[in-house]
Structure 1
Amino acid sequence: MVKSVSIPSDPDSARKVQKDILGAISEHHYKESAVFAIRLALEESLINAIKHGNCCDRAKKVKIDYDIAPDKIELTVTDEGSGFSPECLPNPTREENLEKPCGRGVMLIKAYMDHVEYNDRGNQVRMVKENK
């Protein structure tokens, strides 16, 4: 069953919802490696939504939809920003970009989750992690 929560663009609110979701995952006995991946991807996507999407405007909301099953979790994080094109992010592993702070979060999300997709507008990311 999909659950939804909306939070203000605030790091404390993000930490609380992350803690709640990770607590719900524990009921399904996910492997430690899967929990690590989910924690990292959820934290990065919430930071991106708050900082880049909503520009730290507490009046703007971040919506988190999640569906936790024994075999997989689906997470969708949506912000109220204008969006971006993930394909246009510079590759953070290229030498000329190593000192630049952008793109690492998206790279980590893609590396640790089994499926990642952005909506056309670029203000929503859907992530899936299988418990395998």
Structure 2
Amino acid sequence: MAQHAPQPQFSPDAHPDRGTIRVVNEQPDIDAAHNRVIGAVERHNYPKASIFALKLSLHEALMNAFKHGHKELPTNVPITLHFVVDDAKVLMEIEDQGPGFNPDDVPDPTLEENIERGSGRGLLLIKAYMSKVEYNKRGNKLTMVYQRPKA
């Protein structure tokens, strides 16, 4: 009997342009959540550059949550992704169930002594593309806001 990967759990009041998704660390789950958010962005006719920025930021945020936040947890422990898309902005919140971290402790990947290190680049990209980036006090919930560019 073939085994099927679990599907992401969408909130029961699912709306195409907002929702809460519980995502486990399996590619079909990640892809389905990613497609749901980016589909909402595309329905609001965001420019291609905005879609690229949002795809990259969402990917980096999810990968960081699984790689760092959930590194000691089983792969079936979900991350919660909450999103709201409208014509003016995109809000994405990614919350893992790990112990959290202090984002100020992440080394600056642009400094010469950190160039060879493999950490900090994802957060650097997120900060470059998003209008607002905040972590909760515990350091296990990332809130990102992207403001639509003025036409």
Structure 2 match to 1:129: 146
Mapped to 2, the partners of 1:107 and 1:78 lie a distance apart of: 19
Mapped to 1, the partners of 2:74 and 2:62 lie a distance apart of: 13
Task: Give, as a single letter, the amino acid of the residue that structure 2 aligns with 1:29.
Answer: N
> For the Cα contact (< 8 Å) 1:9–1:54, is it kept in 2?
no
Structure 2 match to 1:21: 37
> For the Cα contact (< 8 Å) 1:77–1:126, is it kept in 2?
yes
- Whichever of the two has the greater Rg, that structure is 2
> For the Cα contact (< 8 Å) 1:34–1:130, is it kept in 2?
no
Q: 1:19 to 1:2 in 2, by over 3 A?
A: closer
Structure 1 match to 2:60: 44
Structure 2 match to 1:99: 116
Task: Give, as a single letter, the amino acid of the residue that structure 1 aligns with 2:64.
Answer: N
Alignment of 1:1-132 (within 5 A): 2-55=18-71, 57-132=74-149
Secondary structure at the residue paired with 1:9?
coil
Q: What TM-score do you get using the length of structure 1 for normalisation?
A: 0.94
5+ residue gaps, structure 1, are none
Q: What TM-score do you get using the length of structure 2 for normalisation?
A: 0.83
5+ residue gaps, structure 2, are 1-16
> For the Cα contact (< 8 Å) 1:28–1:69, is it kept in 2?
yes
Mapped to 2, the partners of 1:47 and 1:4 lie a distance apart of: 18
Secondary structure at the residue paired with 1:117?
strand
Tell me the matched-pair count. Answer: 132
> For the Cα contact (< 8 Å) 1:92–1:103, is it kept in 2?
yes
> For the Cα contact (< 8 Å) 1:9–1:61, is it kept in 2?
yes
Of Structure 1 and Structure 2, which has the larger fraction of its residues in helix? 1
Aligned-residue offset at 1:69: 0.4
Mapped to 2, the partners of 1:88 and 1:104 lie a distance apart of: 13
Aligned-residue offset at 1:13: 1.6
Task: Give, as a single letter, the amino acid of the residue that structure 2 aligns with 1:104.
Answer: R
How much identity, in percent, do the aligned residues show? 35
Query: Of the two structures, which has the highest relative contact order with CA contacts closer than 8 Å and spacing of 6 or more?
Result: 1
Task: Give, as a single letter, the amino acid of the residue that structure 2 aligns with 1:83.
Answer: G
Alignment RMSD, CA only?
1.3
